[in-house]
Amino acid sequence: MAKRRGKNIAGNWFLFPGLGLAAFGCLLFPDDDDDVDKSQIGLGVTMIGVGLASAATGITFKIIGRFQRRKANKYQEKLDLYKISHPRSKVTLSATPLVDPVKGCGGVLLALNF
């Protein structure tokens, strides 16, 4: 359960900032072709590339987390069915005092029940 939750959190940390970085990189492209700054375009392309790579990593983590959740749920269902069909036996120990007045002796009868 913890692995799945960790993968989901990591997926969120990669996905949403990556999408934001890619969107901000798109905003760096100029509207008109007359006033073109090559460094600004290069920075925008770099931000879009890094953002999309981060988003792809986040999506991958989220998919892996979803598969782990499904696998854990199937295992839990099988375990619950097994527990229903094979209940644990209760082990009890009982002690009964014994007194024989004819022989003048006493004792304890121990019983172990499964």
Per-residue pLDDT tens digits of the chain, which is 114 residues long: 566 678 888 888 999 999 999 999 888 877 666 666 777 778 888 999 999 999 999 999 999 988 988 898 899 999 888 888 776 767 788 888 888 888 878 888 888 877
DSSP letter string over 15-67?
Answer: HHHHHHHHHHHHHTS-SSSSS--HHHHHHHHHHHHHHHHHHHHHHHHHHHHHH
Q: For residues 27 and 48, what is the distance between their CA atoms, to the nearest angstrom?
A: 10
Q: Is the pTM of this model over 0.75?
A: no
The rounded distance, in Å, linking the Cα atoms of 94 and 113 is 8
